[in-house]
Amino acid sequence: MEFTVRAMERGDIPRILMIENCSFPSPWTYQAFSSELKNKFAVYFVVLADNEIVGYAGMWLCPGEAHVTTVAVHPEFRGRGLGKLLMKTLIEYSRVRGAATMVLEVRPSNVAALNLYKSLGFRQIGWRKNYYIETREDALVMLRNLQQETFLKQRNEKR
């Protein structure tokens, strides 16, 4: 099976909502995704398996910082590295556009996501109490430094 990543489009939202509804206790609405696609700071990608959307990820890209807003993969496609593919897409997109850091929040109970983020070089920098309103669950705040990577890559390219 072949997987490809592309920018999210408005026509993708119905399929994204199907994945959203089976991934989160308080799923985003059509209007929330539609609004994000109009947000000049928001960047969203989808991953396709044989031309069908099976996952998505998004972030806000502000001067100097990228903030991951959502990542989800359809349950039938989890465990195939698609979350990692989406996160690497966000990381590279941010790094190339000058973001120094990338930050995100994650549920402490989401062990799969925590392991993914740690494997990608994120480290915990904080804790948000009762961050997830629907479950009153806290969030771990995680950060990855992108500026050092850019410096190292540029230095290696000069050699």
Residues annotated as part of the active site: 105, 117
Distance CA 59, CA 11 (A): 19
Distance CA 2, CA 19 (A): 19
Residue with tokens 């009762």: 130
Q: Measuring CA to CA, how many Å separate 48 from each of 62, 70, 158?
A: 27, 17, 36
